[in-house]
Amino acid sequence: MTKILVTGATGNVGRQIVAQLVAEGTPVRALARHAGSAGLPKGAEAAEADLSEPDSLAAALTGTETVFLVWPFLTTEGAPAVLDAIGRHARRIVYLSSSGVQDDAERQTDPINQLHADMESLIARSGLAWTVLRSNTIASNARGWAEQIRSAGVVRGPDIAPTAVIHERDLAAVAVRVLTDDGHTGATYILTGPQVVSRAQQVHAIGEAIGRPLRFEKVPVQAAREQMLADGRPPALVEALLASAETRPQSDVITATVHEITGTPARTFRDWANDHADAFR
């Protein structure tokens, strides 16, 4: 029986996809750069390879038919070689993109959305059957606030326009259906949570989940840049993230796609905060 290969298997979304595929009894191979220490769900086959080294992918791709692709880089420089490697083994690809991608835009609003738009174009021209999952902001991004919440009860950072944040379990559930069911080839799905929430509202929800008053404090972009660079983040990543903070337009888009594909309504950010309260205590 052919396996599904999940890239980004140690990330918040990829790990959920692997776990849900295993729970359904679907053969799954989980890609990790260091498979021995990945701590993957029991029942998943680990494969060690690196997307930055396309020649390392052959063994991981052998015997696979479908690939879930997370692109972890800030440019598409190595993407054609990776897609070629996938095409030599698999026939179908499911790509995790961004709901910020606008089909009618000559250029996207920020570098991250532009990257996703460029990746979508490369995949469409690859000859592989494809499905694109355009995800809204993923709730698990809030894990990055854990240290600030535990130490000070205040989350400081640049504000970003509110969006309908999606629980990673819902995103994974959609991915599992698309990976295992027929009828999704050539589809682009926009995936959101059920409510538009700001960063301040997210912080408040986490505070309610852990029983502590928390607040969000907006930091000017230049101050955020200096802090992120001092923390050791790569300059290119810092500029991409801050460009998103400065230019991302407010979006009131809420879709029912999670419910339509999985049969279960999308979870709220409050649900996510309750699920992950221990991470912030």
> 3-138+167-192+253-266 domain in CATH 3.90.380.10?
no
Report H helices in 181-276: 199-210, 221-230, 235-247, 257-262, 269-275
For residue 166, give the DSSP letter: B
Mean pLDDT of the chain: 93
Domain boundaries, the chain: 3-138+167-192+253-266
* pLDDT exceeds cutoff 80 at 37: no
> What pLDDT score does 266 carry?
98
Beta-strand ranges (E) seen in the chain are 3-6, 28-32, 45-48, 64-69, 92-98, 129-135, 154-157, 188-191, 215-218
> What pLDDT score does 231 carry?
81
Task: Return all residues near 57 (Cβ < 8 A) that are at least 6 apart.
Answer: 49, 51, 82, 85, 86
Exposed / middle / buried, residue 124 (Cβ in 10 Å: 0-12, 13-18, 19+)? middle
Q: What is the pLDDT of residues 260-276, one digit of tens each?
A: 999 999 999 999 999 99
Q: What is the pLDDT of residues 103-125, one digit of tens each?
A: 999 998 888 999 999 999 999 99
Task: Enter the pTM of the model.
Answer: 0.93
For residue 10, give the DSSP letter: T
